[in-house]
Amino acid sequence: MTRSAGILTVSDNCSRGLATDTSGPALQQQLQANNWTVVHTEIVPDDKQKIASAVIKWSATNCQLIVIAGGTGISPSDVTVDAIKPLFSKRLPSLAVAMVIGSLRITPMAALSQVTAGVVGCSVVVAVPGSKKGSVENLQQIISVLPHAVDTAAATQGTRHLHVEQPKEKDTRVQCGCSRPDNADDNQAETIGEQGTVAGRPRKSQHLMVSVDEALRIVIGSVQALPPRDMLLSDVRPGMVLAAAVEAQEPVPAYRASIMDGYAVVAADGPGDYKVIGASTAGGLAQPLPMPLHMNTGSIVRVATGAPVPEGADAVVMVEDTQLLQADNQGEELVVRILAGVQPGQYIRPVGHDVSQGAVLLKSGTVVSPVGGEIGTMVVSGNRTFSVHTVPRIAVMSTGDELSESPGELGHGHVRDSNRPALLCALRALGVDAVDAGVVRDDPALLARKIAETLEDCHGIITTGGVSMGERDWVKPVVEQHLKGRILFGRVAMKPAKPSTFAVLPSGKFIFALPGNPASAIVAFHVFSAPALRKLSGHQKYDGAQVTAVFCGADMILDRGRPEFVRGRLAWSSGRDKWLVYVTDAHQQSSRMPSMLNTNALVALPRGSDVCPKACAGDQVNVIVIAPPAFE
């Protein structure tokens, strides 16, 4: 059985091209010789954030083993262990001991190594020394147990099938050394662990803080467009995305059509008096001419706009350029005077003039807009069905004992649930099928059951609340322990919405666990959830519109620790020929829902510094457009 691995080399010099990486190729050769498939290789500098980002990225792609070479010494620049230990959901100290013991047999310098091992998501991560000799020797000590390690780490449905019974007779096979009995009940519900008590809760977050860009990259890399399905035109609606190009099955028009109400003529005849021998109307032919309608020189045929032009005619004279000379008792025209000459082809649409048969009318990835042009063109194509990406079905759930849905008087300590209605509205604006999953109390078992039940009929779920460091913030441990999910990030360096969390479940479905503060939840939705849902819907451009605008209003002090997403109103100034953005509310607290009023953009302000401590009126700022802009 072949398993997947990634090799991450940590070296400032190698990353800058000042030295050649010899450890990575040597490790790759060793793994391949032991039936591993190396699916990722990368060189990064001695930078904690970049090391952690690579590990998070690879663990999200089901890379079973991640071997990190370098940065395990004791110098100030050796930061590998500091970077990856906060990522571990489980530590594997015995693997590290096995590497050290084996290396000490070869060199006493192994005592100075900080080799370590643990589990990130469902991936086993091993950090070894950076030298070619040291990295290979350390990996060699544990290469035989790594297949079982990665199988066990990924066994979200239990490990009984991985544990063989101990043989009654002497057996030379390597036996499993996991510290659990083989007859353990794999179906037994797990507890929340130390968070079961207030005193036992962590005092620091167990999740590494990732950048906004890294978090967005993880989210986008974890979702794929939903599969297409054939739909009748009557079922296609705005917001849907075509999964296949639409080709014209027939020419439009399918016949030579008159552009004007008037008379079909032979252009060479010129002005004069002519007998009207029949009429052609849109949708049919009037008598007395037989079908198909045909005319010769010296005669004319009355035609309506859109009607077929008779064979033999090569132009149309509009009715304004004619004079009636004679009619019969029933009001039918008999003789008409043509007052103006025409050129051949004038006022006639030839076959296929609007649409030629076989032409691509709509490309794959076209978004059906509310304007109506796409729907109308689909009709014109002559197709019966259309391939359209499945519309995502996304649930919204609020969590918290303090939330009230009742319009009546609030109980002491309660607040109204504004997050769920606001996010349901935002989902519908994206063309997503939004499901109201209600409010769930702060109860781990109930929360796990409600999320699982909701996801049976949804592609993903957005929750708000319960993701910070409070004593009743259960969402993250519920996702990991009850639902066996992988948290790909649990904190983002941004303001507001730092506790924003993204996780995937064994089923492939996802959870956006957003903060409970209203403004935080909505900001995080537009920064992370909306792009993911666009990609899920089949959009080829899913990161939304972004512009550079002139910052207007009072100066704002920039946060020194995190970039800030300020709620703003974007408007095009025709007088200044520029985009302008105004802060919609001087009070940008994450708890203040009215800060979202009149908001159509998020102003992405950078972190502050001594060089740039504040955003000043007139500065150029980056803006994420989240609703149609205004025009002044």
**Would you state the pLDDT for residue 584?**
87
Percent of the chain with pLDDT over 70: 90
Confidence of residue 291 (pLDDT cuts 50, 70, 90): very low
Q: Taking a C-beta distance cutoff of 8 angstroms, is the pair 566, 603 a contact?
A: yes
Interatomic CA distance for residues 516 and 453, integer angstroms = 22
3-7, 58-62, 451-455, range with greatest mean pLDDT: 451-455
Q: What is the DSSP letter of 108?
A: G
**Would you state the pLDDT for residue 393?**
98
Interatomic CA distance for residues 472 and 558, integer angstroms = 32
**Mean of pLDDT values over 103-113:** 73
Q: Taking a C-beta distance cutoff of 8 angstroms, is the pair 609, 548 a contact?
A: no
Around Cβ 484, how many Cβ atoms within 10 Å? 16
Which residues face 265 on adjacent strands?
A: 315
Range of lowest pLDDT (191-200, 326-335, 612-621)? 191-200
Per residue in 142-200, pLDDT tens? 998 999 888 888 775 444 445 444 444 444 333 444 443 333 333 333 344 434 566 66
**Mean of pLDDT values over 506-526:** 95
**Would you state the pLDDT for residue 426?**
96
Q: What is the DSSP letter of 17?
A: T
**Would you state the pLDDT for residue 168?**
43
Residue 429 predicted with pLDDT over 90: yes
**Would you state the pLDDT for residue 176?**
47
Confidence of residue 594 (pLDDT cuts 50, 70, 90): confident
Residue 287 predicted with pLDDT over 90: no
Which residues face 102 on adjacent strands?
A: none
Around Cβ 620, how many Cβ atoms within 10 Å? 11
Alpha helices in 114-266 (DSSP H): 132-142, 146-153, 212-222
For 112, the 3-state DSSP assignment is helix
Q: Taking a C-beta distance cutoff of 8 angstroms, is the pair 460, 509 a contact?
A: yes
**Mean of pLDDT values over 219-230:** 93
**Mean of pLDDT values over 401-408:** 80
Top-confidence residue, 293 or 424: 424
Per residue in 2-16, pLDDT tens? 789 999 999 999 988
In the sheet that holds 510-514, the strands lie side by side as 433-440, 393-399, 460-464, 510-514, 501-504, 486-489
For 325, the 3-state DSSP assignment is strand
Residue 352 predicted with pLDDT over 90: yes
- The rounded mean pLDDT for the chain is 87
Q: At 71, list the tokens.
A: 């940065």
Interatomic CA distance for residues 11 and 70, integer angstroms = 7
DSSP notation for 177-192: --SS-TT--TTSPPP-
As a whole number of angstroms, the longest Cα–Cα distance in the chain is 121
Taking Cα atoms as reference points, which of 70, 112, 120, 69 lies closest to residue 92? 120
Set out the domains of the chain in order of their start, with CATH numbers: 3-153 (3.40.980.10), 228-251+354-389 (3.90.105.10), 257-349 (2.170.190.11), 391-404+415-528 (3.40.980.10), 546-631 (2.40.340.10)
Per residue in 34-51, pLDDT tens? 889 999 999 999 999 899
Interatomic CA distance for residues 225 and 1, integer angstroms = 30
Interatomic CA distance for residues 61 and 66, integer angstroms = 11
Contacts of 261 (CB under 8 A, 6+ apart): 303, 304, 305, 318, 319
Percent of the chain with pLDDT over 90: 64
Interatomic CA distance for residues 300 and 335, integer angstroms = 9
Taking Cα atoms as reference points, which of 570, 565, 522 lies closest to residue 545? 570
Strand-pair category, 546-552 with 578-583? parallel
Q: At 7, list the tokens.
A: 């090799």
Interatomic CA distance for residues 540 and 241, integer angstroms = 9
Residue 411 predicted with pLDDT over 80: no
Interatomic CA distance for residues 303 and 320, integer angstroms = 13
Residue 438 predicted with pLDDT over 70: yes
Q: Taking a C-beta distance cutoff of 8 angstroms, is the pair 396, 423 a contact?
A: yes
Per residue in 298-329, pLDDT tens? 999 999 999 999 999 999 999 999 999 999 99
Q: At 535, list the tokens.
A: 């990609």
Residue 281 predicted with pLDDT over 60: yes
Taking Cα atoms as reference points, which of 245, 257, 534 lies closest to residue 365? 245
Interatomic CA distance for residues 532 and 512, integer angstroms = 10
